[in-house]
Amino acid sequence: MNSEGRLDTPAAGGYVSRQRGGADDGSRMFKSLYARLLALSQSARAPYALAAVAFAESSFFPIPPDVILAPMSLAAPRLAWRYAAIATLASVAGGAVGYAIGALLYDTLGHWLIDFYGYADRMATLKDAYARWGALVILVKGLTPIPYKLVTIVSGLLGYNFATFMALSAVTRGARFFLLAGAFNRFGDPLRVALERYFAFFLAALAAIVAAGFVIAAKVF
């Protein structure tokens, strides 16, 4: 403020600069995160990281493997099919663990999870749904944002045929990951450019999808 009570231009400019600096810092943070994720996706450890996340997501982990599958496939579109196969196999294996939690650990971990997700009072409805449309429940929900861990745990808890469950898991998880691989393989370059430019939006959308999946599961599963 000068002697005449007006705001000096340098001060105003400095204020604007600080405001822009905050936005630039956020942009740099997401670019740095994307660069790290891209570096991981191009490393020899990438397939193991993808398998670990896909395995865990089917039994207890909340973050879907897409967050690693996407940059890996965009970094090497020719290998997208291989990555989809890794994600599918690991997800199905993790599904077996989720099934075991429901089938063998209901009195401890299984019961806690069912109660945590608000299904304790809906077991009769779930049993009826599985008795009538068990295969359809597994196939449809394996493709949706609904966390697949809920499908695997409930399947084990209700004693759904294990061999059939594993076969259906392979179909539905394979369909999801291979559809993504096809998109990455076919439209790799434009998708990579879009992901680099809008990585923050991609993360926000992914978080929203995960949250929506839990909400949908609590209401309509």
Q: Is residue 30 part of a domain?
A: no
Mean pLDDT (whole number) for 170-182 = 92
Instruction: Tell me: pLDDT of 109 over 80.
Output: yes
One-letter amino acid for residue 163 of the chain: A
Closest CA to 52 of 89, 103, 105: 89
Contacts of 1 (CB under 8 A, 6+ apart): 7, 8, 11
CA distances from 27 to 39, 160, 196 (A): 18, 47, 11
Instruction: Tell me: pLDDT of 182 over 80.
Output: yes
Q: Is residue 99 part of a domain?
A: yes
| Domain range enclosing 93 | 46-220
Cα–Cα distance for residue pair 163/161, rounded to 1 Å: 6
Instruction: Tell me: pLDDT of 170 over 60.
Output: yes
Token pair belonging to 133: 């449309």
Q: Is residue 8 part of a domain?
A: no
What's the domain count of the chain?
1
Q: Is residue 20 part of a domain?
A: no
Closest CA to 69 of 216, 182, 168: 182
The confidence score (pLDDT) of residue 30 equals: 55
The confidence score (pLDDT) of residue 14 equals: 47
Closest CA to 117 of 65, 165, 64, 154: 154
Q: Is residue 119 part of a domain?
A: yes
Q: Is residue 178 part of a domain?
A: yes
One-letter amino acid for residue 145 of the chain: P
Q: Is residue 24 part of a domain?
A: no
Reported pTM: 0.72
Q: Is residue 9 part of a domain?
A: no
The confidence score (pLDDT) of residue 79 equals: 85
User: Please, are residues 50 and 90 in contact by the beta-carbon 8 Å criterion?
Assistant: yes
Mean pLDDT (whole number) for 212-216 = 61
Cα–Cα distance for residue pair 44/113, rounded to 1 Å: 35
Question: CB atoms < 10 A from the CB of 106, how many?
Answer: 16
